[in-house]
Amino acid sequence: MDKYVMRLPATERALPPPASGSRPTRVELFAGAGGMAVGLEAAGFEHVALIERDRNCVHTLRQNGFGKCVKLKDAPRCVGTNVSLRAVCCARRPTCHLCACRFRAPASMRQPTLRACLGHADVPIPRAEDGTLEVWDLFCCGGGFSTGAKRAGCTVVYACDAWPDALETYKRNHPQTHTECLELPAPIPFPTDGRPFHVHGSPPCQRFTVMGKRYNTESGVETATNLLKWFLDTAVTCGATSWSMEQVSSAETRAIVEAVRKRHPTRVASATIDFYELGVPQHRKRLICGSPALVAHLLRACSAERRRSIRDAIAKPRGTMVRNSDSWTRARLRHDRRPGQSKYAYTKATADDKLHPLSGPAPTILTNGDVRWWWRDRDGESKISVMSARELALLQTFPRNYKLPDSTKLAHKLVGNAVPPLVAELLLRADGPRPVGRG
């Protein structure tokens, strides 16, 4: 502590007197990577000095625009020559290349988009003057994302997918959108006249799920990986003013996204979000990637107050509980497992296992697993009935009047594959997500 106390007087001498009528000024000790600084700057404060001894934090501060990074002993000189002094590095050792010393943080340590990731208020997503935004929906399937985009006031101008049956349903619900049955990767006729537009993509994710991994072939994984890489590269280089992607959150997918983020640090952010926190009445954890300000919108929208239950979504439930189709239950065997020992014991699930109360979220709606109503009849027998595609669509936040295909199997697939429209809506609303209560 003495170390800091001894160093502070030098910094105090370096502070310029506040000009009358100017914004309130502040000095922050132990500034860290700048979370507080970003927030207070948004609230109108001007930073005179951010004091931090950790070299990586100072790097982050500097790369997020908090002025020139100097060693403390240089501070008075910088202020005296009217250089904007906002980040002060107090490290004992020479720290960063920015102050002409030897240390240079490796790329993996740098966090150049902190401000953008926090969704700083002055990072607007460009839109047309009337507030609409063109959306291009790649891998559109039955139209979950497009439905939410429209509810957010956007115009979905183009959608493509390789699955003709999915496109049929898409067209019935979005007749104004230009659709194309297209096997991607393929050239897409993106606008080149400089107008704002948003690109969304949900490349197929089954190969990255736990279930999908059981049936993976090497070529299947390679195709899925290439498609994911292709979409990410396309999204950040096609001229779109913003972009988004929904994907299964696994070590592989996160690593692919991280590699792209390193190449385009100001254009890529990602977060794993349980959509239950956004008001989708089911647990659905997904990786959301996209323009940093949009990802930040969505993160800020997450709140316990937004949560909705099965009963909130389905006014007339046909059971007293909900159950998914898992046929196994697992119990933890040991906590001090040695290599080769199993962690869990699996037993066949009975009809009374894996029950979810109606006052909470449903299990994840999947494309290849059904969700069932459960109740006890008068004789105390457990009864189950498979949820209809319409009920599943409500749990995925589709509107009640969304046109589903006649084939139940196909409808289940389209609904289970979809991005919940509510998530797309919260992501793309021009004014940010509506406060809870009106949402």
| Least Å from the CB of residue 166 to ligand SAM | 5
- 150 token code pair: 């429209």
Question: By CB neighbour count within 10 A (0-12 exposed, 13-18 middle, 19+ buried), where does 231 fall?
Answer: buried
Restricting to residues 224-283, name those near ligand SAM by CB under 6 A: 227
Render 50-101 in DSSP notation, one character per residue.
EEE--HHHHHHHHHTT---EEEGGGHHHHHHTT----EEE--SS---GGGTS
CA pair distance 69, 86, nearest whole angstrom: 7
Nearest CB to ligand SAM, comparing residues 58 and 141: 141
Task: Give the binding range for ligand SAM (CB under 6 A) out of 75-83, 282-290, 403-411, 415-423.
Answer: 415-423
| Least Å from the CB of residue 317 to ligand SAM | 25
Nearest CB to ligand SAM, comparing residues 10 and 182: 182
Q: Which residue has the tokens 């929208």?
A: 301
Restricting to residues 191-230, name those near ligand SAM by CB under 6 A: 202, 204-205, 227
Is 139 a binder of ligand SAM (CB under 6 A)?
yes
Nearest CB to ligand SAM, comparing residues 40 and 162: 162
First to last CA, the chain: 48
| Least Å from the CB of residue 306 to ligand SAM | 20
Is 161 a binder of ligand SAM (CB under 6 A)?
yes
Question: By CB neighbour count within 10 A (0-12 exposed, 13-18 middle, 19+ buried), where does 78 fall?
Answer: buried
Nearest CB to ligand SAM, comparing residues 145 and 276: 145
Is 136 a binder of ligand SAM (CB under 6 A)?
no
Nearest CB to ligand SAM, comparing residues 27 and 162: 162
Nearest CB to ligand SAM, comparing residues 8 and 227: 227
Sign of CA dihedral 385, 388, 392, 394: negative
Q: Determine the residue with CB nearest ligand SAM.
A: 144
Is 389 a binder of ligand SAM (CB under 6 A)?
no
**What DSSP state is assigned to residue 282?**
B
Task: Give the binding range for ligand SAM (CB under 6 A) out of 135-143, 255-263, 267-275, 373-381.
Answer: 135-143
Task: Report whether 235 contacts 199 (CB < 8 A).
Answer: yes
- SS3 state of residue 243: strand
Task: Give the binding range for ligand SAM (CB under 6 A) out of 8-16, 177-185, 214-222, 297-305.
Answer: 177-185
Buried-state track 356-377, b at ≥16 Cβ within 10 A, e below 16: bebebbbbbbbbeeebbbbeee
CA pair distance 320, 393, nearest whole angstrom: 19
Restricting to residues 293-352, name those near ligand SAM by CB under 6 A: none
Task: Report whether 231 contacts 188 (CB < 8 A).
Answer: no
Residue among 142, 212, 290, 433 that touches ligand SAM (CB under 6 A): 142
Is 140 a binder of ligand SAM (CB under 6 A)?
yes
Task: Using CB under 6 A, list all residues that contact ligand SAM.
Answer: 139-145, 161-163, 166, 182-184, 202, 204-205, 227, 417-419
